[in-house]
């Protein structure tokens, strides 16, 4: 006959298991986290909006949202409105790339401190012609333009509140014209295929006057050095270009540099690209216009096609 185990034999293993589990449990409390009591939301100071009449306010409210759009002033070409610094450095005392928007008034710089009416940006924003900015058809409001003019009137200061000093910049090429010897016929206005940014059509067997309009902030125009026109059949390679000296001219108070070309020396049916090179004697390298990195239409406009 089987004997029944005493109850004590069943109790002892249960006690051992209980002691084992108890031994596995932590005997101390979790130490406090020293960062638990830090209040990360104690700064209740409101974010300060920049003064709308400063370069920082203009960039935040106007330049970055209305101008730095893809394919426009986003670094594709100047002015560069991607940042506050790039906006300032490509506006103040920066030479214009366009001679005029109305064919009458001309401008030297995009922004002239203290002088809104002498600043080309004011002209581009307010011109009644179709050549206004922004070019997407939506003009800036009168309030936006007033903020830009006020910034200029206050000295066009940088983001640190400093008024810029006028630099000794390289000369600027404001534009060109191609005429007959009497200065009455404008060949440069007759474009290939009728497209305004295409090369102009140069007639065969003609003397053509190439007129270049220049400016410089310090050096009188007659004293500019290395005035040369270079012509190449390659749009971006002028290493083997033909070179022509330009001569200073002053007719009826109108200053320009002149190169005379005979179109019979060029091959019909070929497009020729040209660039102007000049120095004011204060810079180690000559100004080249247009440059390789400029948009294609500058290089296409500075070109002619022999009929």
Residue count of the chain, please give it: 307
> What does the pLDDT read at residue 103?
80
Res 18: pLDDT = 46
Position 45 scores a pLDDT of 58
What does the domain layout of the chain look like in residue ranges?
55-153, 172-306
For residues 221-232, average pLDDT: 97
Say what the pLDDT of residue 28 is: 55
82 exposure class (CB count in 10 Å sphere: 0-12, 13-18, 19+) = middle
Summarised one tens digit per residue, pLDDT across range 19-32 is 444 444 444 566 77
For residue range 128-174, what is the model confidence (pLDDT) as tens digits?
Answer: 988 888 877 788 999 999 999 999 999 999 999 999 988 888 999 99
Any residues with CB less than 8 A from the CB of 236 and at least 6 apart, and which?
Answer: 292, 299
User: Which CA distances in Å does 15 have to 22, 134, 229?
Assistant: 11, 87, 106
Q: For residue range 238-296, what is the model confidence (pLDDT) as tens digits?
A: 999 999 999 999 998 899 999 999 999 999 999 999 999 999 999 999 999 999 999 89
Torsion-angle region of 205 (φ positive above 0: left; ψ -120 to 50: alpha; else: beta): left
- Mean pLDDT score, 108-116: 94
- The pLDDT, as a whole number, for residue 111 is 96
- 188 pLDDT exceeds 70? yes
* Token pair belonging to 117: 């009416």
Flag whether pLDDT at 16 surpasses 50. no
pTM over 0.75: no
Q: Residue 108 pLDDT more than 90?
A: no
Element of type H or E holding 296: helix 296-301
Among 128-142, 176-190, 193-207, the minimum mean pLDDT is found in 128-142
User: How far does CA 66 lie from the centroid of its chain?
Assistant: 14
- If residue 242 lies in a helix (H) or strand (E), which one and from where to where? strand 242-245
Q: How far is CA 161 from the centre of its chain?
A: 22
The CATH topology of domain 172-306 is Immunoglobulin-like (2.60.40)
C-alpha closest to that of 79 among 107, 121, 115: 121
* pLDDT tens string 51-86: 999 999 999 999 988 886 776 777 677 788 889 999
Q: Given a cut of 50, is residue 2 above it in pLDDT?
A: no
Closest by CA to 95, choosing from 83, 109, 75, is 109
Give mean pLDDT, residues 198-207: 95
User: DSSP character for 258?
Assistant: E
């Amino acid at each position: 006959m089987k004997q029944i185990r005493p109850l004590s034999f069943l109790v002892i293993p249960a006690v051992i298991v209980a002691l084992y589990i108890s031994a596995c449990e932590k005997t101390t409390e979790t130490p406090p986290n020293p960062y638990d009591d830090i209040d990360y939301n104690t700064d209740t100071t409101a974010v300060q909006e920049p003064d709308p009449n400063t370069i920082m306010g203009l960039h935040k409210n106007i330049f970055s949202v209305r101008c730095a759009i893809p394919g426009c002033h986003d670094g594709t070409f100047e002015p560069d409105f991607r940042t506050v610094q790039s906006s300032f450095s490509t506006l103040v005392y920066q030479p214009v790339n366009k001679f005029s928007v109305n064919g009458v008034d001309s401008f030297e710089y995009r922004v002239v401190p203290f002088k809104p009416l002498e600043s080309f940006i004011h002209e581009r924003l307010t011109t009644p012609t179709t050549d206004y900015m922004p070019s997407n058809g939506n003009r800036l409001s009168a309030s936006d333009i007033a903020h830009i003019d006020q910034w200029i009137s206050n000295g066009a200061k940088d983001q640190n509140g400093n008024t810029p000093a006028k630099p000794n910049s390289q000369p600027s090429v404001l534009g060109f014209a191609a005429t007959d010897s009497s200065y009455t016929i404008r060949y440069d206005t007759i474009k290939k295929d009728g497209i305004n940014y295409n090369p102009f059509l140069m007639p065969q067997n003609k003397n053509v006057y190439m007129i270049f309009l220049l400016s410089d902030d310090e050096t009188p125009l007659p004293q500019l050095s290395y005035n040369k026109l270079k012509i190449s059949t390659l749009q971006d390679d002028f290493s083997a270009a033909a070179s022509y000296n330009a001569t200073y001219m002053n007719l009826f108070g109108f200053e320009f540099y002149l190169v005379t070309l005979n179109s019979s020396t060029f091959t019909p049916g070929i497009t020729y690209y040209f660039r102007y090179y000049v120095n004011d004697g204060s810079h180690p390298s000559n100004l080249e216009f247009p440059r390789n990195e400029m948009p294609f239409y500058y290089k296409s406009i500075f070109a002619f096609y022999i009929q």
